[in-house]
Amino acid sequence: MTTADPSYQHSPEARALARSLWESLEVVHTPVYFSSAVADAGRAIGLSDRMMSYTAMRTAPLGVLPPEVVTAVLYGFSPQLVAYGVKAAWEATTPEVALEMTQTAATSLLTNLFDGLDAEVARAAELAREAALLHPILGRPLGAAWASVDWADDPCLVLWQAATRIRESRGDGHLAQLVAADLDGVGSHLTLAGDSQKLRERYSGLRGWSEPEWEAGAGRLRDRGILDGDGALTDAGLALREHIEQATDDLAAEPWQILGVAAAGHLEDSLRPLVERVAAAQIVPRLLTRRVLGDAHPERT
């Protein structure tokens, strides 16, 4: 399906569908990174801090690889933080044990969250699995790694596995767009909403970038006309970021078109009550659930 815009292969509607399904499935995938119960399960196998646990849970299907390779797929993290996470995680445990822990903990977490929604989970798992099998793995190392994991029997875990395969395949495509735009890890953050002290404070601990690295990254973007002197995105910067997001959607659109708009709509309908449960539990950042639920998002208690 082509459009009048030669930049993209798929229509705006197809791109929007790919994005909306990703947003809903992301809510199913991400609770494992924020749940205290999952963190406790990680500590039980020796993953004693957030970066060790995150690195192990997200990259276990890749096996033990040099930090430089893991940095390539964890694009927005500083190489120093990734190197620490890789070394510490695989000194404490093995990829096989970490994968088993992650999937067991994800099953328990989602089973509790989605209690009483068995029909919705089963339907969502069936459709999401079908969609995941359509998502490409060529040139998508993390998506391919998760595609190598055997499917489970439990519907909650099947849904989580499918969400993970889809988000990592899409994520690898997103990294290709960042590379094409000549944006490094720092630039990938600074082009979201511009440079600010709040952004630096938020992401320094989570992503490991130092103040000099933020400064150097912001300087490169100013030199390119992407940021202005106050750190705000210029018109060119806004256009670049919008193109990256649209191109990411475009690369992710084909599987959903093959699945079919009707089936994709059924999946989205099945996911809606599940997203509402995650939102009500207040496990993940509100941004993730609010972009799906909009004005229907529950107020924080």
pLDDT band at 49 (very low <50, low <70, confident <90, very high): very high
Per-residue confidence at 130, pLDDT binned at 50, 70, 90? very high
Alpha carbon distance 247, 252 (integer Å): 9
In this prediction, residue 5 has a pLDDT band, given cuts at 50, 70 and 90, of: low
Torsion of Cα atoms, 160 then 163 then 165 then 169, to 10°: -160
Tally the domains of the chain. 1
pLDDT in tens, 157-215: 999 999 999 999 999 999 999 999 999 999 999 999 999 999 999 889 899 999 999 99
What token pair was written down for 299?
A: 């107020």
Given a cut of 60, whether residue 4 has pLDDT beyond it is no
Give a yes or no: residue 3 inside a domain.
Answer: no
| Structure tokens, 205 | 């601990």
Burial class of residue 7 (count of CB atoms within 10 Å of its CB; 0-12, 13-18, 19+) = exposed
Question: What is the pTM assigned to this prediction?
Answer: 0.95
In a domain, 108, yes or no: yes
Q: How confident is the model at residue 298 (pLDDT cuts 50, 70, 90)?
A: confident
C-alpha distances in Å from residue 41, one per residue of 2, 15, 97, 101, 109? 47, 37, 11, 7, 11
**Beta bridge pairs of residue 227:** 233
Which H/E stretch holds residue 110? helix 95-113
The boundaries of the domain holding residue 73 are 12-292
* Residue at 299 is within a domain: no
In a domain, 5, yes or no: no
Q: Coil, helix or strand for 227?
A: strand
User: CA 122 to CA 111: how far, in whole Å?
Assistant: 12
The answer to the question of residue 258 being in a domain is yes
Q: Is the pLDDT of residue 3 over 50?
A: no
pLDDT tens digits, residue range 55-84? 999 999 999 999 999 999 999 999 999 999
**Assigned domain for 2 exists:** no
CA torsion angle 251 254 260 261 (round to 10):
30
| pLDDT of 296 | 85
Spatial distance between the Cα atoms of 174 and 153, rounded to a whole number of angstroms: 30
pLDDT class of 301 with cuts at 50, 70, 90: low
Please check the confidence at residue 92 and state whether its pLDDT lies above 80: yes
- Token pair of 98, please? 């970490």
Looking at residue 300, its pLDDT comes to 67
Distance of alpha carbon 52 from the chain centroid: 18
Does any domain span residue 4? no
Q: Is residue 265 part of a domain?
A: yes
| Chain segment 105-123, per-residue pLDDT in tens | 999 999 999 999 999 999 9
Check residue 36 and give its pLDDT.
96
Per cent of the chain over pLDDT 70 is: 97
Residue with tokens 């750190």: 231
